[in-house]
Amino acid sequence: MPDSNYTPQTVVKRLPVYLRVLDNLLRREVEVISSKELSSETGFTAEQIRKDLAYFGAFGTRGTGYQTSYLREKILKIIGLDQKTPIIIIGAGHLGIALTRYNVTNNPYVRVIAVFDNDPEVVGQKIMHIEILGVSEMERIIREYNIKVAVLAVPADKAQQVVDELTGYGIRAVLNFAPTKINVPAGIQVHNADLAIELQSLIYYSSSEEERMNRLKKSKEKKGEKEIETGQ
Amino acid sequence: MPDSNYTPQTVVKRLPVYLRVLDNLLRREVEVISSKELSSETGFTAEQIRKDLAYFGAFGTRGTGYQTSYLREKILKIIGLDQKTPIIIIGAGHLGIALTRYNVTNNPYVRVIAVFDNDPEVVGQKIMHIEILGVSEMERIIREYNIKVAVLAVPADKAQQVVDELTGYGIRAVLNFAPTKINVPAGIQVHNADLAIELQSLIYYSSSEEERMNRLKKSKEKKGEKEIETGQ
DNA sequence: TAGATTGTTAATCGATTAACAATC
DNA sequence: TAGATTGTTAATCGATTAACAATC
């Protein structure tokens, strides 16, 4: 029963793109924007943009378009970015450090409260002004700051165990960079940001259609042979 | 005209997941696996897995399942990972460095040929054993190693310009970490791995359905008020 | 042969695109 | 009023799920 207020995930994923474009437009002091112009800025169709926004309300003016700053405010509210979201990052390896720096410098909508690691060598150090804490401090920090969102940058073999802990402490959404499937109770969101998988699926497209078809043909032929060999 | 050999992108994105699971199974010396078991390892349905594989051929044995090592070989061929793919990484900032290390240590299917940066301070340094070269060397390296895949980790305002160069030198697929839309000629693939956007869409789900509905309601009410205020 | 599981076709579901009335 | 553009409903497209015959 997808209740009447259900919004497809595919729509939700586009909202931050709209937000970014609106931020850029405001910087350029563009005060009004049509769905057609938003289309050329985002790469999504104008129809899709209008339909996406219609899930949440009617924010435009017929004949004119959308008031940039007003639409931005609305989208901020819809996503829940009207206040800075406190987040934590688990894992202070190279990726964890890069993600911390990235979010501190480039993501104005979140506040990185702390980074956690189990290596005593790095605990106590700082990434920019953010402290690296031992994992034993996780529960305290999560509860103290009422943190709901965690970024996971730990090795694959530690990921499930860490997420079990996190959900136990009240975390509701995890951005998982560990290359492994994670099981969570209903209602908890895990989004996978699997860099190796992204790259590998891209490699599929890096050969021409012709090369792919040749590989495929060879694949099918070999299967044929194999069946004959073993089929007797 | 989606020709008969066209494979949906959504299927291609699942192939590396199958590959990873098969790698793990082989390590555990599991020799045969059913679509049902693959389902529990991947989180995709058994029907979907069988249908995905059917795009490329018939690799299983009815009544038995799939031979792990054979299916792995086939998927390697399909994606084009049967030989190590040479890639380059553009941008030796924190993210570029993290991506380089990550792929060198964790992605056995690619070989990072070089990292490029325009900062003379970092050019000449090494990340693990990989050299950081000036961007003026890009063309030479791309042509010398016949590189088709690039990972882009440069600031947003440099991204389009760099990609224009890359495609000019023969790059056919770009994994873009820069938070901006990139325009490319037909036939060139750009996949966006936008970390801030991933995180922001996750934040949407970090509040409960109730909280979201409240925000939404408020949003719609305010819009209502606004219409009344300005509608006279 | 009986049991299991694939490969494939048909049915369903969901998302995108097209069309257009509403309205600024 | 004429032109423009939204918001919304209907049509289309594509992907997932269900069903089942083929076959090991």
Q: Which two tokens stand for residue A120?
A: 């005593």
Whether residue B203 and residue A175 make contact (CB cut-off 8 A), yes or no, is no
Q: Beta carbon of A51 within 7 Å of strand D?
A: yes
- Closest nucleotide to A9: CA versus each C1': C15
Which of B203, B210, B223 to probe the A interface (max A CBs under 10 A)? Answer: B203
Tens of pLDDT, residue by residue over B130-188, are 999 999 999 999 999 999 999 999 999 999 999 999 999 999 999 999 999 999 999 99
The pLDDT tens digits of the residues spanning B55-88 come to 999 999 999 999 999 999 999 999 999 999 999 9
A vs B, Cβ pairs < 8 A, gives 221
Check residue B46 and give its pLDDT.
98
- Residue-level pLDDT at B214: 73
On whether any CB of chain A is under 8 Å from the CB of B196, the answer is yes
pLDDT at B222: 41
Which amino acid would we find at residue A216? L
Can you list the alpha helix ranges (DSSP code H) found in B55-168? 68-79, 94-106, 138-145, 156-168
Report pLDDT for A198.
Answer: 96
Nearest to B114 by CA among B156, B74, B149, B79: B149
| DSSP 3-state of B126 | strand
For B61-64, which contacts have Cβ atoms below 8 Å and span 24 or more sequence positions? B64/B32, B64/B34
How confident is residue A210, by pLDDT bands cut at 50, 70 and 90? Answer: confident
Q: What is the mean pLDDT of residues A91-114?
A: 96
| Distance spanning both ends of chain B, measured CA to CA | 52
Residues 6 or more apart whose CB falls under 8 angstroms from that of B15 comprise A200, A201, A204, B52, B75, B78, B79
Band of pLDDT at residue B5, cut at 50, 70 and 90: low
Quote the pLDDT of residue B212.
Answer: 76
Answer for the pair A174, A182: CB distance below 8 angstroms, yes or no.
yes
- Percent of chain B residues past pLDDT 70, beyond the cut: 90
C-beta separation of B152 from B144 below 8 A: no
Nearest nucleotide from residue B9 CA, by C1' atom: D15
- Other Cβ atoms closer than 10 A to A134: 14
| Distance, Å, A219 CA → C10 C1' | 28
Pair B139, B114: CB distance under 8 Å: no
Residue B154: closest CA among chain A residues belongs to which residue?
Answer: A102
pTM: 0.92
Distance from CA of B174 to the nearest CA of A (A): 8
pLDDT greater than 50 at residue A20: yes
Q: pLDDT band for A217, please (50, 70, 90 cuts).
A: low
Chain B CB within 8 Å of residue A63 CB: no
Q: Is the CB of A50 under 7 A from strand D?
A: yes
In angstroms, what separates the C-alpha of A216 from chain B's closest C-alpha? 6
Mean pLDDT (whole number) for B182-204: 95
- pLDDT digits over A171-203, tens only? 999 999 999 999 999 999 999 999 999 999 999
Q: Do B215 and A41 touch (CB under 8 A)?
A: no
The 10 Å Cβ neighbour count of residue A171 is: 24
Q: What is the mean pLDDT of residues A91-110?
A: 95
- Yes or no, beta carbons of B81 and A200 under 8 Å apart: yes
Domains and CATH numbers, chain B: 9-79 (1.10.10.10), 85-196 (3.40.50.720)
The pLDDT of residue A5 is 66
Q: Which nucleotide does the CA of A44 lie closest to, via C1'? A: C16
Residue A37 pLDDT = 98
**Once rounded to an integer, what is the mean pLDDT over residues B108-120?**
97
Count the neighbouring beta carbons within 10 Å of the beta carbon of residue B4: 5
pLDDT score recorded for residue B27? 97
pLDDT at B36 over 80: yes
Mean pLDDT of chain B: 91
The pLDDT confidence band at residue B8, using thresholds 50, 70 and 90, is very high
Can you read off the two tokens belonging to residue A101?
């720096």
The predicted pLDDT at position B4 comes to 52
> Cβ B16–A106 below 8 Å, yes or no?
no
- pLDDT, tens digit, for every residue of A2-12? 345 689 999 99
In angstroms, the separation between the Cα of residue B136 and the nearest Cα of chain A is: 23
Average pLDDT over residues A66-87: 97
> How many angstroms separate the CA of residue A110 from the nearest CA in chain B?
8
pLDDT at A41 over 90: yes
Is A80 within 8 Å of B173 when comparing Cβ atoms? no
CB-side neighbour CA atoms (13 Å) of A137: 18
pLDDT in tens, A115-150: 999 999 999 999 999 999 999 999 999 999 999 999
Name which residue leads in pLDDT, A196 or B215. Answer: A196
